[in-house]
Structure 1
């Protein structure tokens, strides 16, 4: 069977000043074996109402993650409003997410062994996502190249795209997504802990009483078995991972308002409120995005070395994140730990597969340094000076290795700046066109 023949496009429908068309097509699980098992790939094409009959250039949104579905138009970030002024925008659910053959504890249970699950998940990294995108481009535009906009992990995918299929690209915009090209996961997480520590300092400087509040919550969790409304236990170390929000534009305030309502009076003394516990549960559960946890370290794996639970190992170099020593309390950030596959019910069925992925050494290379050095595609990249998720120095080293890449270094935005302010994409478009 030729899987590439299975395609479907919905009738256009209107929504909030936009005209949308839904596309699905079959893509190989393993692009090296196109005759093998197939996955369904979903993408939503969006155009501003009134421009639906114009031949506008295509812009592919590459979502952050890994394991995040594309934005939905009803929750459009600032970038989409700007992009629709001159593009048809393609919102592709990366494989395993959204309406693209989902991968979670239910669907992955179909595999007979953890080894089979781990092998399946090796096909969900940037290289496979890029090859999916190329098949989607051929379906939508034939030979015509398109522009990609990569946010965070989507920027990692854009760099892979420049090496794997530069002929498919007219331009590339990257925001908060220039990874190290050759560094090991240990290098990534060592730098990440330093940045996360600085964000903690800034957070507690803005809200001086919150460090005491966080310590009080941690002590309560250490002394009591606390269950969130979902029934899941909230441990001290799981509570610490709420710090992932400190890297976003609204994260400081959101965490502060969560902490300030933490305690209420119970029959036998203070207890954690349902409001607090529900808010924590919403942030902490990986049920909507299990691939984020299962693949997080794998997105840095290449060159024959295992990640070996890098964030967990490197944490020992940073004792300030040890909440059990009675010292100042610190939240962790974008790190994934093996114990999360024991405490989060959405991850427990993936535990053995996750251990196998962490031990794997035969990962293919994700980036092509030679092609990047000879790149001819115009690339503009926003490098956020105070980015908690992606290291500035590693980003600038990568920027220097890509011919024609024009970096814009700014301290005016957090990691999600492209969603918060349309001026970010506006600046990248102007930069790529040589107008700045």
Structure 2
């Protein structure tokens, strides 16, 4: 283990070896990375552990500098583990460069089937025993990390002292189709809110989309920017400052070149950075699989649910929007087959993605009866009209989990845990402890 210092904290690197398939512990193994964080004045103290599970899927744990954001509150009383979930960050990577080591597309899909919440939670249990000696710990789950925490409550509640969830209470039984059927109206509302705030962006967005429809545009690094890919910049609208970030991006779109207006290099680079999956390909590969409950729950394959359901909302059709005079609607947290054509980090994985979309043998992730009987204190922040996680789905799940206390708020968007400093974590701890 290596330890080092940042302002106010001491960090220690941990590595753990776990089975790829927990059902076959003698088979292939992968490595997990976790970063322990403790306040500088508490290095030798006997502190309880808090495990942080990042959102995603496919994102490594957030890289803080010192005691930033909620981490400053956490290290007041916890020893924190920032875990890079399997396939992410410094854990054994899963991407276009490494997946071919496991064989062709079918072998890659079989490999990736072990990267959902059920495997992540079994990883956490092995890590917990190695770090705490078997003592239960507190789990803080952000977004997809909350999905994992909910599975944790279903599968291994004995490992949990307290569960805190921010923007991540999943539906216990919704199909991927149901998730996206609920999400497109939220995407429309977020886009309309953006245009109400920045009405000048209506014409800007239409002009950019029209240019992309007429000119094949390849961004630096090989990313093809189509009108549909441009629409997916709406994913920014799920953050507290997202509308402002989108506005500043759009206002910089065009410069006058020798042959007339062209998309500026600055705009193209900002768009590439916002849309690329190079740093988190599992987000694209497994995004719909996180909702899959399998044949045991009467569900078939996810089968590109976001793309199919989009057809039920013709107002999102870019070509039709450009034919009329209305605003171009942005989309949000949706993955489509064309992502695997437009993004060079995903192109080699197109067949693998197709096989995952066709897969039916997913295991159920949540046990409603066990959740209804849990004795683990649970508190959850539910963000009103969250772009990424449906509020109604979250509240239905909250009613199922015994003793769960919710904080429903429109003070924050989906990134409230990061944007709210210590306030969100402080309130959730107080709720879980019945202090408020």
- Indicate the TM-score class for this superposition, using the shorter chain for normalisation: over 0.9
2:185 counterpart of 1:194: yes
From 315, 327, 341, the equivalent of 2:310 is: 315
From 158, 166, 178, the equivalent of 1:175 is: 166
Name the counterpart of 2:371.
372
Rounded Cα–Cα distance in structure 2 between residues aligned with 1:290 and 1:75: 28
Name the counterpart of 1:295.
286
Name the counterpart of 1:135.
126
Rounded Cα–Cα distance in structure 2 between residues aligned with 1:323 and 1:198: 17
2:348 counterpart of 1:349: yes
Give 1:227 deviation, angstroms.
2.1
Name the counterpart of 1:212.
203
1:186-220 CA deviation, whole Å, 9 max, x = no partner? 00001110101000010000000101100000001
Distance 1:359 1:75, change over 3 A: farther
Distance 1:332 1:77, change over 3 A: farther
2:149 counterpart of 1:158: yes
Matches within 5 A, 1:189-338: 189-304=180-295, 305-325=300-320, 326=322, 327=324, 328-338=327-337
Rounded Cα–Cα distance in structure 2 between residues aligned with 1:255 and 1:91: 30
Name the counterpart of 2:411.
412
| TM-score when normalising by structure 2 | 0.97
From 30, 34, 44, the equivalent of 2:25 is: 34
- Verify the 8 A CA contact 2:8 2:40 in the aligned structure 1: yes
Name the counterpart of 2:425.
425
- Verify the 8 A CA contact 2:381 2:428 in the aligned structure 1: yes
From 87, 90, 104, the equivalent of 2:78 is: 87
Q: Which segment is superposed worse, 16-25 or 308-317?
A: 16-25
From 40, 46, 71, the equivalent of 1:55 is: 46
Q: Which segment is superposed worse, 226-235 or 142-151?
A: 226-235
SS at 2:36 equivalent: strand
- Verify the 8 A CA contact 1:77 1:420 in the aligned structure 2: no
Rounded Cα–Cα distance in structure 2 between residues aligned with 1:116 and 1:229: 31
Q: Which runs of 4+ in 1 moved over 6 A?
A: none
Tell me, which stretches of 5 or more residues in structure 2 are unaligned? none
- Verify the 8 A CA contact 1:95 1:101 in the aligned structure 2: yes
Rounded Cα–Cα distance in structure 2 between residues aligned with 1:50 and 1:147: 21
Name the counterpart of 1:397.
396
SS at 2:70 equivalent: helix
Rounded Cα–Cα distance in structure 1 between residues aligned with 2:373 and 2:223: 51
Rounded Cα–Cα distance in structure 2 between residues aligned with 1:297 and 1:133: 22
- Verify the 8 A CA contact 1:382 1:428 in the aligned structure 2: yes
From 103, 106, 110, the equivalent of 1:115 is: 106
Name the counterpart of 1:387.
386
1:305-359 CA deviation, whole Å, 9 max, x = no partner? 2101000000001111101012420111000001111111110111111111111
| TM-score when normalising by structure 1 | 0.97
- Verify the 8 A CA contact 1:399 1:407 in the aligned structure 2: yes
For the aligned residues, what is the CA RMSD? 1.0
Tell me, which stretches of 5 or more residues in structure 1 are unaligned? 1-9
Q: Which segment is superposed worse, 348-357 or 120-129?
A: 348-357
1:335-393 CA deviation, whole Å, 9 max, x = no partner? 00011111111101111111111111110011111110101000000000121000010
1:243-266 CA deviation, whole Å, 9 max, x = no partner? 101010110010000000101011
Give 1:152 deviation, angstroms.
0.3
Q: Which segment is superposed worse, 69-78 or 91-100?
A: 69-78
- Verify the 8 A CA contact 1:148 1:158 in the aligned structure 2: yes
Rounded Cα–Cα distance in structure 1 between residues aligned with 2:417 and 2:135: 26
